[in-house]
Structure 1
Amino acid sequence: MLIVECHELGRRFGAAVAVEGLSFSVAEGELFAFLGPNGAGKTTTLHMLTTMLEPTSGWARVAGFDVVRQAPAVRESIGVVFQEPALDERLNARENLEIHAVLYGLRGPRLKEAIAQALEWASLAEVAHRPVRTFSGGMKRRLELARALMHTPKILFLDEPTLGLDPQGRRHLWERIATLRGQGLTVFMTTHYLQEAEACDRVGIIDQGHLIALDTPAALKLKVLGKAEGSLEEVFLELTGRKLRDEEARPRDRLLGFARRGGEHTR
């Protein structure tokens, strides 16, 4: 069963093209990764799939629901961990989880049980009453991941999930993701860490808003390098070039600028 389907998906910001003509699918239970240089369109694509941005062309379905016409149903079916922390750092860990749980309709004993399980799963039960602003980067990531899973989503979207974490924090996070995968959860991630992408079932490489390659890591090496023993980094550099790139504005900055201009008609 396909849990993500995209056809000619695109997004423009005025005259600027962020994503154009993306067509791909993700099967249920897959660990799927998007790789790309800075500003390639990875986060914009993820924002469209999670209903944060409406496409300006094409269409996409997540868990069988159209991301525009059935956006509420999409949101009920997904969990999301953003690139930048999306926690209220004035609140403690338990309060952050409670807000999310209530928004997803959890009440009474079910609410308390879900919060307790989330704290235990994230290894944060002993610090549940500490303000989140006192947490390390790894603790915040674990809390965000636990929060995203409280309503038992069908697919988990991760935008650079280990960005800024030390090796111990990355390993701890991936151990938890591996457990989820063992339970059949679909994971769609963007990453800059080639070693993380090597562990994925399939990898899509996006550059300048276009999907330029999509296959298993082993198949990409064979196709691009002509050998199975190469590295995904070699594949990435061969396809996207070796020139340094500086992203003009982070996706969040683009979104804020778009909001200040009053938006635009996208449908």
Structure 2
Amino acid sequence: MWYWHNGELVEREKVLIPVEDHGFLYGMGLFETFRTYEFVPFLFDAHWERLMKSLDELWIDFPYTKEEIGTAIQQLCRQNDAPDLYIRLNVSAGVAPLGLYAGRYETPNVTMIVKPLSSEVVPQEKRVEPIPFPRSRPEAAFRLKSHHYMNNILGKRTLQDQGAEGLFADEHGHVVEGLVSNIFWVGPDDMLYTTPLSSGALAGVTRQWVMKHFSVIEQPVTFEELTAAKEIWMTNSIQQVAPVTHYGNLRYPGKDGVRFNEVWAKLVRSIG
């Protein structure tokens, strides 16, 4: 596979990042994960906006324009002969003096890591189960999509069903989000709900899309209260909206859910 690194297409094995990079040493880095459909990155403007906001929060400069990154995405698709790609746009802060650096990072290492995806637009059902320890609190006023993923990896290890996605709760027992997804559910009143960002949930791009196009109530929920849901879905930028078939030992309608199909139909139209 060919990756894109600091302005150039580079074979995967030849991508190099200095060991003094503060993304490697101290976790000072951010990323966006998205996918292309027939060469077109889905919801790219929203990903770009979130990345720029987060970079500003961490005082990391970004040396490329949105248009330059858009061109690089097209180059990656063509060089890899893959119009449908998983793309991780990664920004590692760059080399700075050893120790806790308080200045601006002016020369980050910017890399796009890719892998091919299926061109089929079909719902991917999921199983979910609770994680037995709390979600770590955000690094800033809002959760950044940062390099800090130890909490997620440790959570993954606790799952009895390694094919499932774990659900994090906060220290008060309220569900926050999944390991790699935001959560939505249909309540007994047929209303659509999601967890509030104040819980520490990531402001996911697909979450944002659902909330823009449908009426959604942000409300805390416990693991026990979630068992009363009629439908549960997980949202992220690769699977988009993934309907849940099992929450622990409980069964849910998955892709047969009525409200899920309303959202999925609109999503497919948006993809084109």
TM-score when normalising by structure 1: 0.26
Give the number of the structure whose residues are more often helix, by fraction.
1
TM-score when normalising by structure 2: 0.26
Higher RCO (Cα < 8 Å, 6 or more apart): 1
